[in-house]
Amino acid sequence: MTTTANIDIEQLRQAAGQACGLVKVLANPDRPLLLCQMTQGEYCVGELEEAAGIRQPTQSQQLTVLRGEDMVATRREGKQICCRIASREALAVMTLLHALYCAPEKEKEKAS
Give the pLDDT of residue 109: 61
> Rounded to whole angstroms, how far apart are CA atoms 31 and 42?
15
Residue 102 pLDDT level (bands cut at 50, 70, 90): confident
**Is a pLDDT exceeding 90 seen at residue 90?**
yes
Q: State the Cα angle at 20 between 44 and 109, rounded to 5°.
A: 70
Whether residue 107 has pLDDT greater than 70: no
pLDDT over 90 at 50, yes or no: yes
Mean pLDDT rounded to a whole number for the chain: 89
pTM above 0.75, yes or no: yes
Per-position DSSP letters for 30-83, written without gaps between them: HHHHHHHHHTTS-EEHHHHHHHH---HHHHHHHHHHHHHTTSEEEEEETTEEEE
What is 13-111's CATH topology? Arc Repressor Mutant, subunit A (1.10.10)
